Amino acid sequence: MTVTVENIGQAAGTFKLECTLGKFAPSDYAQGGPLYVGGPLQFYWGAGRTPNPGNLATYFLTPTGPGSRNITFELGPGQQTSLSFVSAPLAPITRYDGVKEYVLDAHWYLSVLVAEYELDWQLADLSCIKVVPAGVAQGRIVSTSYSVY
Amino acid sequence: MAFTVYAGSNVTVSVQVKNVGSKEGTFKLTGRITYYGSPNHGAYAGAFTKRAKDYCTASKESDWDYITVVLAPGQVQVLTMYKMNIACGNNQAFDDGQQFKITWRFENTETGQYDIREDFFTYRRR
Protein backbone atom coordinates (compact mmCIF):
# COMPACT_ATOMS: atom_id res chain seq x y z
CA MET A 1 0.00 0.00 0.00
CA THR A 2 1.29 3.42 -0.85
CA VAL A 3 0.57 6.37 1.38
CA THR A 4 1.24 9.94 0.35
CA VAL A 5 1.91 12.41 3.12
CA GLU A 6 2.16 16.18 2.84
CA ASN A 7 3.58 18.71 5.26
CA ILE A 8 0.92 21.42 5.18
CA GLY A 9 2.69 23.45 7.82
CA GLN A 10 5.05 26.40 7.43
CA ALA A 11 8.19 24.77 8.78
CA ALA A 12 10.17 21.66 8.05
CA GLY A 13 9.65 18.80 10.45
CA THR A 14 10.11 15.15 11.23
CA PHE A 15 7.06 12.97 10.91
CA LYS A 16 6.24 9.43 11.92
CA LEU A 17 3.70 7.35 10.07
CA GLU A 18 2.29 4.21 11.54
CA CYS A 19 -0.58 1.86 10.86
CA THR A 20 -2.43 -0.70 12.84
CA LEU A 21 -4.41 -3.27 11.00
CA GLY A 22 -6.94 -5.35 12.81
CA LYS A 23 -10.44 -4.87 14.01
CA PHE A 24 -12.24 -2.32 16.02
CA ALA A 25 -13.87 -4.02 18.94
CA PRO A 26 -17.64 -3.85 18.84
CA SER A 27 -19.04 -1.25 21.17
CA ASP A 28 -20.87 -3.84 23.21
CA TYR A 29 -17.65 -5.66 24.03
CA ALA A 30 -16.79 -3.62 27.06
CA GLN A 31 -16.22 -6.36 29.58
CA GLY A 32 -12.68 -7.16 28.58
CA GLY A 33 -11.01 -10.44 28.00
CA PRO A 34 -9.33 -11.48 24.80
CA LEU A 35 -11.55 -10.78 21.86
CA TYR A 36 -9.55 -12.01 18.94
CA VAL A 37 -7.18 -14.89 18.52
CA GLY A 38 -5.48 -16.77 15.77
CA GLY A 39 -3.44 -16.14 12.68
CA PRO A 40 -0.88 -13.37 12.51
CA LEU A 41 -3.47 -10.92 13.75
CA GLN A 42 -3.48 -11.99 17.34
CA PHE A 43 -4.52 -9.33 19.71
CA TYR A 44 -5.42 -9.48 23.32
CA TRP A 45 -6.88 -6.91 25.55
CA GLY A 46 -3.96 -6.90 27.91
CA ALA A 47 -4.46 -8.46 31.30
CA GLY A 48 -4.88 -5.73 33.82
CA ARG A 49 -5.65 -3.14 31.20
CA THR A 50 -8.88 -1.29 31.15
CA PRO A 51 -11.00 -2.65 28.36
CA ASN A 52 -11.54 0.00 25.77
CA PRO A 53 -14.08 -0.84 23.11
CA GLY A 54 -12.63 1.79 20.85
CA ASN A 55 -9.21 0.22 20.74
CA LEU A 56 -7.87 -1.60 17.78
CA ALA A 57 -6.90 -5.11 17.43
CA THR A 58 -3.51 -4.61 16.00
CA TYR A 59 -1.06 -5.75 13.46
CA PHE A 60 1.43 -3.51 11.87
CA LEU A 61 1.99 -2.84 8.27
CA THR A 62 5.73 -2.88 7.95
CA PRO A 63 7.46 -0.42 5.69
CA THR A 64 10.89 -1.87 6.24
CA GLY A 65 10.29 -5.44 7.29
CA PRO A 66 8.98 -7.40 10.23
CA GLY A 67 9.36 -5.71 13.54
CA SER A 68 9.29 -2.21 12.16
CA ARG A 69 6.16 -0.52 13.32
CA ASN A 70 6.60 2.85 11.73
CA ILE A 71 8.70 5.01 9.52
CA THR A 72 10.06 8.48 10.18
CA PHE A 73 10.94 11.02 7.56
CA GLU A 74 11.69 14.69 7.07
CA LEU A 75 9.43 16.97 5.08
CA GLY A 76 9.87 20.61 4.22
CA PRO A 77 6.89 22.96 4.13
CA GLY A 78 4.48 21.96 1.37
CA GLN A 79 6.58 18.91 0.54
CA GLN A 80 5.05 15.52 -0.19
CA THR A 81 6.43 12.00 -0.02
CA SER A 82 5.03 8.62 -0.88
CA LEU A 83 5.74 5.64 1.33
CA SER A 84 5.15 1.99 0.54
CA PHE A 85 3.95 -0.35 3.22
CA VAL A 86 3.80 -4.10 2.98
CA SER A 87 1.66 -6.04 5.36
CA ALA A 88 2.52 -9.27 7.07
CA PRO A 89 0.58 -12.26 5.68
CA LEU A 90 -3.07 -11.62 6.31
CA ALA A 91 -5.66 -13.99 7.67
CA PRO A 92 -9.14 -13.66 9.04
CA ILE A 93 -9.20 -13.18 12.77
CA THR A 94 -11.42 -15.25 14.98
CA ARG A 95 -13.31 -13.74 17.82
CA TYR A 96 -13.59 -15.66 21.03
CA ASP A 97 -17.28 -16.18 20.36
CA GLY A 98 -16.24 -18.08 17.24
CA VAL A 99 -17.20 -15.46 14.69
CA LYS A 100 -14.63 -14.87 11.98
CA GLU A 101 -13.84 -11.33 10.91
CA TYR A 102 -12.90 -11.05 7.28
CA VAL A 103 -13.02 -7.27 7.01
CA LEU A 104 -10.18 -5.64 8.87
CA ASP A 105 -9.73 -2.00 9.73
CA ALA A 106 -6.60 -0.18 8.65
CA HIS A 107 -5.94 2.75 10.93
CA TRP A 108 -3.27 5.17 9.76
CA TYR A 109 -1.90 7.87 11.93
CA LEU A 110 0.71 10.48 11.50
CA SER A 111 2.71 12.14 14.25
CA VAL A 112 4.82 15.27 14.21
CA LEU A 113 8.06 14.64 16.06
CA VAL A 114 8.40 18.03 17.65
CA ALA A 115 8.46 17.98 21.40
CA GLU A 116 5.45 20.12 22.07
CA TYR A 117 3.43 18.43 19.36
CA GLU A 118 4.66 14.90 19.85
CA LEU A 119 1.41 13.61 21.19
CA ASP A 120 -0.67 15.50 18.71
CA TRP A 121 -1.26 12.69 16.31
CA GLN A 122 -3.68 12.87 13.48
CA LEU A 123 -5.96 10.16 12.25
CA ALA A 124 -5.16 10.35 8.60
CA ASP A 125 -7.33 7.58 7.29
CA LEU A 126 -9.44 4.69 8.29
CA SER A 127 -10.06 2.13 5.64
CA CYS A 128 -11.02 -1.49 5.37
CA ILE A 129 -9.26 -4.50 3.96
CA LYS A 130 -11.13 -7.66 3.18
CA VAL A 131 -9.26 -10.90 3.68
CA VAL A 132 -10.13 -13.50 1.08
CA PRO A 133 -8.65 -16.96 1.50
CA ALA A 134 -6.25 -17.97 -1.26
CA GLY A 135 -7.49 -21.50 -1.12
CA VAL A 136 -9.97 -23.54 0.88
CA ALA A 137 -10.19 -27.08 2.07
CA GLN A 138 -13.32 -28.82 0.89
CA GLY A 139 -14.42 -32.25 2.03
CA ARG A 140 -16.28 -34.86 0.06
CA ILE A 141 -17.63 -38.26 0.99
CA VAL A 142 -16.50 -40.54 -1.80
CA SER A 143 -18.09 -43.80 -0.73
CA THR A 144 -19.44 -45.84 2.16
CA SER A 145 -19.06 -49.57 2.61
CA TYR A 146 -20.88 -51.56 5.31
CA SER A 147 -20.10 -54.83 7.00
CA VAL A 148 -22.83 -56.39 9.18
CA TYR A 149 -21.99 -59.29 11.44
CA MET B 1 -26.73 -48.45 -0.15
CA ALA B 2 -29.27 -50.42 1.90
CA PHE B 3 -28.71 -53.34 4.20
CA THR B 4 -30.49 -55.33 6.89
CA VAL B 5 -29.71 -55.63 10.59
CA TYR B 6 -31.07 -57.66 13.49
CA ALA B 7 -31.07 -57.12 17.22
CA GLY B 8 -27.52 -57.57 18.41
CA SER B 9 -25.99 -56.99 14.98
CA ASN B 10 -22.73 -55.11 14.72
CA VAL B 11 -22.10 -52.77 11.84
CA THR B 12 -18.73 -51.57 10.66
CA VAL B 13 -18.61 -48.91 8.01
CA SER B 14 -15.69 -47.70 5.95
CA VAL B 15 -16.20 -44.15 4.76
CA GLN B 16 -13.86 -42.95 2.08
CA VAL B 17 -13.40 -39.20 2.26
CA LYS B 18 -11.38 -36.73 0.26
CA ASN B 19 -10.23 -33.16 0.51
CA VAL B 20 -11.20 -31.84 -2.90
CA GLY B 21 -10.11 -28.32 -2.00
CA SER B 22 -6.81 -26.57 -2.55
CA LYS B 23 -5.71 -26.21 1.05
CA GLU B 24 -5.08 -28.48 4.02
CA GLY B 25 -8.01 -28.65 6.39
CA THR B 26 -9.47 -30.33 9.44
CA PHE B 27 -12.64 -32.30 8.91
CA LYS B 28 -15.18 -33.95 11.15
CA LEU B 29 -17.16 -37.05 10.20
CA THR B 30 -20.44 -37.95 11.88
CA GLY B 31 -23.00 -40.62 11.09
CA ARG B 32 -26.41 -39.85 12.54
CA ILE B 33 -29.16 -42.45 12.50
CA THR B 34 -32.82 -41.42 12.30
CA TYR B 35 -36.11 -43.25 11.88
CA TYR B 36 -37.23 -43.39 8.28
CA GLY B 37 -40.94 -43.85 7.90
CA SER B 38 -43.74 -43.86 10.42
CA PRO B 39 -44.35 -43.66 13.26
CA ASN B 40 -41.22 -41.74 14.31
CA HIS B 41 -39.99 -40.48 10.97
CA GLY B 42 -37.02 -38.16 11.38
CA ALA B 43 -36.52 -38.83 15.07
CA TYR B 44 -33.01 -39.44 16.33
CA ALA B 45 -32.23 -43.11 16.78
CA GLY B 46 -28.50 -43.19 17.41
CA ALA B 47 -25.12 -42.57 15.89
CA PHE B 48 -22.13 -44.37 14.55
CA THR B 49 -19.24 -44.33 16.97
CA LYS B 50 -15.53 -43.80 16.77
CA ARG B 51 -14.65 -47.02 18.53
CA ALA B 52 -16.06 -50.52 18.37
CA LYS B 53 -17.75 -50.33 21.75
CA ASP B 54 -21.21 -51.49 22.71
CA TYR B 55 -23.34 -48.36 22.86
CA CYS B 56 -25.59 -49.96 25.46
CA THR B 57 -22.91 -50.56 28.07
CA ALA B 58 -19.80 -48.53 27.27
CA SER B 59 -18.89 -45.24 28.86
CA LYS B 60 -19.09 -42.55 26.22
CA GLU B 61 -16.12 -40.27 25.71
CA SER B 62 -16.64 -36.72 24.52
CA ASP B 63 -15.51 -37.74 21.05
CA TRP B 64 -17.69 -40.83 21.10
CA ASP B 65 -19.67 -40.12 17.97
CA TYR B 66 -17.30 -38.37 15.57
CA ILE B 67 -13.88 -38.62 13.98
CA THR B 68 -11.65 -35.70 13.12
CA VAL B 69 -9.01 -35.89 10.45
CA VAL B 70 -6.55 -33.50 8.84
CA LEU B 71 -6.31 -33.88 5.08
CA ALA B 72 -3.92 -32.31 2.62
CA PRO B 73 -5.29 -31.10 -0.72
CA GLY B 74 -6.33 -34.11 -2.78
CA GLN B 75 -5.72 -36.55 0.05
CA VAL B 76 -8.05 -39.53 0.37
CA GLN B 77 -8.56 -41.44 3.58
CA VAL B 78 -10.78 -44.28 4.74
CA LEU B 79 -12.38 -43.69 8.12
CA THR B 80 -13.95 -46.54 10.06
CA MET B 81 -16.92 -46.13 12.37
CA TYR B 82 -19.10 -48.58 14.24
CA LYS B 83 -22.61 -49.29 15.45
CA MET B 84 -22.35 -52.15 17.89
CA ASN B 85 -25.11 -54.26 19.40
CA ILE B 86 -28.06 -52.91 17.44
CA ALA B 87 -31.15 -52.37 19.59
CA CYS B 88 -29.08 -53.46 22.60
CA GLY B 89 -29.91 -56.99 21.57
CA ASN B 90 -33.62 -56.48 22.25
CA ASN B 91 -35.52 -58.16 19.45
CA GLN B 92 -38.70 -56.24 20.24
CA ALA B 93 -37.03 -52.84 20.26
CA PHE B 94 -38.33 -51.86 16.82
CA ASP B 95 -41.09 -52.99 14.53
CA ASP B 96 -40.15 -55.64 12.05
CA GLY B 97 -39.25 -53.85 8.84
CA GLN B 98 -38.59 -50.48 10.48
CA GLN B 99 -36.35 -48.44 8.24
CA PHE B 100 -33.62 -46.11 9.32
CA LYS B 101 -31.61 -43.44 7.56
CA ILE B 102 -27.92 -42.79 8.16
CA THR B 103 -26.85 -39.24 7.42
CA TRP B 104 -23.11 -38.97 6.96
CA ARG B 105 -21.83 -35.46 7.36
CA PHE B 106 -18.24 -34.55 6.53
CA GLU B 107 -17.61 -31.01 7.65
CA ASN B 108 -14.68 -28.66 7.36
CA THR B 109 -14.31 -27.45 10.93
CA GLU B 110 -12.78 -24.14 9.84
CA THR B 111 -15.15 -23.03 7.11
CA GLY B 112 -18.30 -24.97 7.96
CA GLN B 113 -18.48 -26.40 4.45
CA TYR B 114 -19.91 -29.91 4.51
CA ASP B 115 -20.84 -32.82 2.31
CA ILE B 116 -23.79 -35.11 3.05
CA ARG B 117 -24.41 -38.71 2.08
CA GLU B 118 -27.47 -40.74 3.03
CA ASP B 119 -27.66 -44.50 3.41
CA PHE B 120 -30.51 -46.68 4.66
CA PHE B 121 -30.96 -49.88 6.56
CA THR B 122 -33.87 -52.05 7.63
CA TYR B 123 -34.40 -53.65 11.01
CA ARG B 124 -35.70 -57.19 11.02
CA ARG B 125 -36.91 -59.17 13.97
CA ARG B 126 -35.48 -62.65 14.17
Residues B35, B94: Cα–Cα separation, whole Å: 10
| Contacts B12 to A, Cβ<8 Å | 146-147, 149
pLDDT digits (tens, 9 = 90+) for B17-61: 999 988 899 999 999 999 999 889 999 999 999 999 887 887 778
- DSSP 8-state secondary structure symbol assigned to residue B38: T
The residue type at B102: I
> What value of ipTM does the predicted structure carry?
0.92
Q: What is the pLDDT of residue A40?
A: 35
Answering whether pTM is above 0.80, one says: no
Q: With pLDDT > 70 as the criterion, what percentage of chain A qualifies?
A: 39
**Gap between the Cα atoms of A47 and B97, Å rounded:** 61
Please write the tens of the pLDDT for every residue from A51-107: 333 344 455 555 665 555 677 889 999 999 887 776 666 666 666 666 677 777 676
CA B58/CA B53 separation, integer angstroms: 6
Residue A143 has pLDDT above 60, yes or no: yes
- Cβ(A45)–Cβ(A33) below 8 Å: yes
Phi, psi of B103, deg, nearest 5: -110, 110
- Number of other residues whose CB lies within 10 A of the CB of residue B124: 15
Number of Cβ atoms within 10 Å of the Cβ of B112: 8
Nearest to B102, CA basis, from B116, B89, B88, B90: B116
Instruction: Measure B60 CA to nearest chain A CA, in Å.
Output: 22
Closest partner residue to A138 (CB to CB) among B5, B11, B21 is B21
d(CA B12, CA A139): 22
Best probe of the A interface among B6, B117, B126, by most A CBs < 10 A, is B117
* A140 in contact with B, Cβ within 8 Å: yes
